[in-house]
Amino acid sequence: MIALPGVLIAFALMFLSDCLKMFGRHKTANASFFSGLLLLLVSSVFALFSGERFLVAWPLRVILLVLAAFMAVLEIVSLFVALPAKETYLSQKPVDLVDTGMYALCRHPGALWLTTLYLMLSLGLGSTGLLWTGLLASMLNILYVLFQDTVVFPRMIPDYAEYKKRTPFVIPSRESIKNAFAAKRL
């Protein structure tokens, strides 16, 4: 299955991106990050058309695809709206800590939405290829955000250590859900 090596390379490029940023190579890091995102998207499309198919009843299919669309919106919002996209991905200056809205919910909401997106989309479309690709991407994404959480962000984002003490890693808590909605910025 050609999609799986593409997913591995995509996350390798994203890991490389963060390593390059730590060494001040922002332009190269940005190119590496966006190349990784593009490769992940292309690999996912390939996965959709590979592997076996399974039947899904149309009412369930509709529900799963609506949920997948909602997860896609949450993923885009968490990565490119809740975080100021230009400062986060294109600036060469240190980024400010964002700890409101989705980032009060958990430190890595994108990891939560990505896993759910892959699951809903693969089940809704009846694609085993996308299901396996999503499983691999989700596991690699957890390793990626763990690397960011322990190595990259503590060095690059002021006050990140305090943020880690008050906000869950990926799975929201009752308290973090209240904090996220109290800020009224999801």
- Identify the domain containing residue 176 by its residue range: 53-182
Residue 143 lies in a domain: yes
- DSSP H helices, the chain, are 3-22, 26-48, 58-80, 85, 102-105, 109-125, 128-147, 153-156, 160-166, 174-182
pLDDT at 184: 55
Q: What average pLDDT does this structure show over 167-178?
A: 93
In a domain, 65, yes or no: yes
Q: How much is the pLDDT for 186? A: 45
Residue 19, in any domain of the structure: no
pTM for this predicted structure: 0.90
Nearest-angstrom CA–CA distance, 56 and 63:
11
pLDDT at 151 over 60: yes
Does residue 57 belong to any structural domain of this protein? yes
Question: What mean pLDDT is predicted for residues 144-151?
Answer: 97
More confidently predicted of 151 and 24: 151
Q: How confident is the model over 159-181, as a mean pLDDT?
A: 92
Query: In the predicted model, what is the mean pLDDT of residues 91-117?
Result: 89
For 11-56, how does the pLDDT look when each residue is reduced to its tens digit (9 = 90+)? 999 999 999 988 888 788 889 999 999 999 999 999 998 889 999 9
Say how far apart CA 21 and CA 30 lie, in whole Å: 8
Look at residue 33 and tell me if it is in a domain.
no
Mean pLDDT over each residue of the chain, to the nearest integer: 91
Cα dihedral angle (173, 174, 176, 181), rounded to 10 degrees? 140
Q: What is the mean pLDDT of residues 110-124?
A: 97
**In terms of Cα–Cα distance, which of 143, 139, 144 is closest to 119?**
139
Residue 41 lies inside a defined structural domain of this protein? no
Structural domain contains residue 44: no
Give yes or no for a contact between 114 and 62, defined as CB atoms under 8 angstroms apart: no
3-state DSSP of 73-125: HHHHHHHHCCCCHHHHHHCCCCCCCCCCCHHHHCCCHHHHHHHHHHHHHHHHH
- Domain membership of residue 155 (yes or no) is yes
- Provide the number of structural domains found in the chain: 1
